[in-house]
Copies of this chain bind each other. A is one copy, B any other.
């Protein structure tokens, strides 16, 4: 059905359409690409491709345009991820290098990715659940309150205030702090519930109430933060894009962090590049966009995802290269922290 030449034609159509933003005709194709055949032959191939649903024409007597299915085939079999240029790689290093805390790393990453791809960039904060405890601190505030600070090895800090404890003694807080750190430092956050289970029973009875309150807040802060944070950048690039859907729909979808989180979550293999094309995206407002995403992490521990949102008519090899490269560097930076 699809011999090599037809695939070559499809590849050429995608490449030309992406770069010119105009339906591409048989003559232009035969001219610009060394296909070795005449426009007429190309036309014959085009009808095959159209019958199979890989391309379509906006109207009779116009050139062809790839369909979602066509882009899908292109991404899966006809293209290779384009590595970044040396200059781009240097730009990444110098741009991400200067960051100090997690917020700044994430902020710079999202701007960098937007600039490299000239599209909308999305960066998810590192997941708490995949990191481990670096330190737990308890701070008495006045007589009745205690603040708990949880620091993870990915640089994230969660703090909560625990209220209405009745009178708390400094000593009790001290011993609880020591106990917690002995038990938790170095353990995965996912393991914290287990590690914490039988701690209260090791305390004198009159301290157990406070310990229980602190522990429940601690556990809560782990579970709750499953709704993770996300940062957007490069929305200005939307203005230059032309969606078949309305700009408003896309902006609305992007503003709903929940939507983006779900979409990133659906991305299959967290260690690999994933591409979602057009209607493959489960969200209505984004069915005329494509999303390229990749997981990042420290070593082979996946932490979260980054991605790029753009029109289906996008430079897939280039975008995929940029996303992959930024994800890798981001992992390295986090590991170095």
- Where the two chains meet, the residues of A that have a C-beta atom closer than 8 Å to any C-beta of B are 134-135, 137, 139, 141, 147, 149, 151, 157, 159, 233-236, 238-240, 246-248, 251-252, 254-255
Contacts and interface: CB of A to CB of B under 8 A. Distances in A.
A238 B251 contact: yes
A139 B135 contact: yes
A136 B159 CA distance: 14
A157 B251 CA distance: 31
B247 A235 contact: no
A149 B246 CA distance: 46
Contacts of A135: 139, 141, 147
Nearest to A239: B248
Contacts of A236: 248, 251-252, 254-255
A238 B134 CA distance: 43
A238 B247 CA distance: 9
A136 B53 CA distance: 65
A206 to B, nearest CB: 24
A239 B247 contact: yes
B255 A239 contact: no
Contact of A239 (B134, B159, B246): B246
Given A157-B159, A234-B255, A247-B247, 20 more contacts: A134-B141, A135-B141, A135-B147, A137-B147, A139-B149, A147-B151, A149-B159, A157-B157, A233-B255, A235-B235, A235-B251, A235-B255, A236-B248, A236-B251, A236-B254, A236-B255, A239-B246, A239-B247, A239-B248, A239-B251
Nearest to A155: B161
Nearest to A235: B251
A132 to B, nearest CB: 14
List 7 A-B pairs, minimum CB-CB distance, nearest first: A239-B248, A236-B251, A236-B252, A239-B247, A137-B139, A236-B255, A157-B159
A255 B135 CA distance: 35
A215 B151 CA distance: 21
Contacts of A251: 235-236, 238-239
Interface centre among A240, A252, A255, by most B CB within 10 Å? A255
Contacts of A239: 246-248, 251
A141 B185 CA distance: 11
Contact of A240 (B159, B235, B238, B248): B248
A137 B247 CA distance: 48
Nearest to A247: B239
Contacts of A252: 236
